[in-house]
Chains A and B, each alone.
Chain A
């Protein structure tokens, strides 16, 4: 206890975390919702698992940007102030958003050590890579950027979909393998064309002539209907009933594979590959928008002869209309597809004692825009059969100091859990560059005597 309490307090005191939430939850294989991370995971103490809503959110900014950087409290509310944020930005910045809502799921143990599962979830994946120049120009104007070619083209990959999962697993002695097919139904999508992602603004030091150069394209499904440039801006007109697509109008599929091996009595390893071949084919209200032009605005061009004749008039309307025409977006009806990021998990769990276990987890995600890799080592304490507390130290490509925490309850058939990769975001959400949390509720019935040590206190094994 003397050793563990300081460790626990250390965990509480840590801040600035950005560990993969799933990293920690992967080690909670005795909670039904963990099945979503490995189709071979099935809690051994119950035969029937009913998953109620579970929610996870993982959103982060690159660098040290926190919500405090652009949200300021004024007049009993919040106001946006990007001044400090812009100073914190890198030349290229990322914003990643992953959200999952497990609506309902079901798991059954069948004779012969077969396990079947079915689940529904609503997921969102979003990545925005944006240059510093974009918020800089929007917030501060181009006055401080004279003489610079400023990149203002963001890249984005964002889509939401529903997922219908059917899984099958089987235990062979100490090895459990599982597979799952996921039927995907896309809801909305917005994806930039990686071959056309150029938009720059140059302000000439001469007399501030503006050169706009763009070759920019993006696809949209069930989101953007048209882009109106009549008023010299880009007004996005959304489709009617945004996101209200019929089931499987935008269809796709993916596969999950997983395995869990109990190497020794106390040593268990596992691995899974999720969203294999995952692809969503967008066909509902799908458009490809593109703007392509290079134009230098030099102000009103006055013919010297007209000036001398006193018959000049600067037609700003004509010049600015030309600018508008050059950068108007063309629209084409075009189907497209989005590739789901493939995820890899691998974990090791060693039961130190009855209520203490150490674990290590590896995670990698292949996304179109950003790959992520993380490694974590954790400690789990189950002082009571229905209570679990855990902490994890994680390392990923963005930070070497990530500390996670979880709290789980399993009173009777109820499974309730809460976890956060950054405990302090719960108290100071604005002071962290990320938001990361996971919580859920499920029910488990059919207490099972699985033989072996399932459900038997450790000291009695």
Chain B
């Protein structure tokens, strides 16, 4: 047999055995684990979009009920702050009828109205109240008695009471409701006539019940209410309203330079009094944050006075209302300068003067529904500029479950903050994390405030065009996160500046949004 046959006969089994030595030991694969490694995960955290109109609604909703936002046709917004609507009914000032008896001293007697000296009453129409006649006959004979008030007519029939009194009798007539009666006065006097005849036809004057003080004929009145009064109103001053308007947009913790392009104060007066009335502005001042009062000065007011439009009797405007609007703006007042001082409230005190010119030829009127209604408002068109208009505020922090998170499995995180801004306002931000003693533990950004929201560019009209996107990466390693999550407070420094460094006025539109989104990358350990 050849030598190689001998060799392989004996060697090959050994070779085969050697080959098997490299075979897998499957026991090695029991309980196979993963080697330590890191993985990088990216996912979104949140996103939100803030609309400018909603933002302004929130600013206004915090405190006041008398404010609102008006969206103008071009999308701009006007903040309107209003005082309380004040109404002064004419009846408050000119209801001079008292529940008092008319003491008829003689058979023909003229009683005085208790009207203001400046008022000459010509006609009064009553809608309610009562009038009656009380007569006492102290004679020892029967008396036929008739009392007449010729000026007091109902459907052309004057008020009259007839009665035959027996001797020593007192007669009280039924109550006469004055609704529908018209009184035509002369010189503010009411004429009363009575006739008393004895059975033999002799006309007598009934003797006084108490001589010199209590006559036999008494005409009590009660609850007289007029529906219409006509006459002459002479010069008379009367109070209209005194109020305060809070301007809460300036009542924030924000400080800095803000200019508003065209602030306005408006007076809106609705007048249904039928005689000339002049508003007298006793006080119209703004108050700044330090409590300093700044008077509103205007060419519209003539020594603080303003004549109102009124319905005219001559023109047949009874029952109508006339309106008078007055605007105080930068063209006719110092309001522009006032608002740059960021006032926090407006205080006003306004009186009325009737027939200031004392023109006797003017016959006026009032009705039971005549009103002078006054509404004072502040209008702020949201157009202006701001430079580092900022706030420094502290807020409580609660990291919740993150306080106990096992950070050993986290190698680091990086937040990505993205803002997409349609508004012409930029925002710089810095956050300091504080402990219970308000000591700074760390800050969100290294190196000071960072711009997290850049203003959208504006055109020549101050209107934002386009959207400005800002990306901010905020890395945070585990030791830093462990430090921050022990904070119990945060100090937020926020600064707002309008486009182009706050040097040009911009318009805030109701449709403008600012979107804020955040994602996170986490390096996890396995």
Contact = CB atoms under 8 A, between A and B. Distances in A.
A208 interface: yes
Given A301-B46, A304-B49, A383 B35 contact: no
B46 A302 contact: yes
Given A208-B521, A305-B54, A418-B16, A299 B46 contact: yes
Contacts of B58: 305, 308-309
Nearest to B518: A207
A299 to B, nearest CB: 3
Interface string A408-428: 000000000010100111111
Nearest to A67: B24
Contact of B47 (A207, A210, A383, A425): A207
Nearest to A139: B39
Contacts of B16: 407, 418
Nearest to A308: B58
A307 B21 contact: no
Given A1-B4, A78-B28, A80-B32, A302 B42 contact: no
Given A208-B520, A301-B48, A428-B22, A203 B29 contact: no
Nearest to B520: A208
Contacts of A141: 39-42, 524
Chain B contact patch, size range: 35 or more
Interface string B504-526: 00000000010001111101100
Contacts of A389: 8, 12
Interface in B13-51: 16, 19-24, 28-29, 31-35, 37, 39-51
Contacts of B49: 304
Contact of B45 (A207, A387, A424): A207
A308 B521 CA distance: 27
A83 B37 contact: yes
Given A83-B37, A387-B12, A428-B22, A210 B44 contact: yes
Chain A contact patch, size range: 35 or more
B361 interface: no
A14 B165 CA distance: 154
A278 to B, nearest CB: 31
Contact of B518 (A146, A299, A308): A299
Contacts of A203: 42
Given A81-B37, A208-B44, A429-B23, A407 B517 contact: no
B47 A299 contact: yes
A197 interface: no
A77 B32 contact: yes
A210 B523 CA distance: 17
Contact of A78 (B20, B32, B40, B50): B32
A304 B40 contact: no
Nearest to A204: B44
Contacts of A238: none
B43 A304 contact: no
A450 interface: no
A207 B40 contact: no
A80 B48 contact: no
A423 to B, nearest CB: 7
A387 B47 CA distance: 76
A77 B16 CA distance: 27
B422 to A, nearest CB: 13
A241 interface: no
A301 B47 contact: yes
B4 A299 contact: no
A387 B44 contact: no
B119 interface: no
Nearest to B58: A308
14 contacts: A83-B37, A140-B39, A146-B42, A207-B47, A299-B47, A302-B46, A304-B50, A304-B513, A308-B58, A389-B8, A426-B19, A427-B19, A428-B22, A429-B22
Interface of B: 2, 4-5, 8-9, 12, 16, 19-24, 28-29, 31-35, 37, 39-51, 54-55, 57-58, 416, 418, 513, 517-521, 523-524
Interface of A: 1, 71-72, 74, 77-81, 83, 139-144, 146, 203, 206-210, 297-305, 307-309, 314, 383-384, 387, 389, 407, 418, 420, 423-429
Given A207-B518, A420-B19, 4 more contacts: A142-B42, A299-B519, A384-B9, A426-B19
Closest 6 CB pairs of A and B: A143-B40, A427-B22, A207-B519, A299-B44, A208-B519, A141-B39
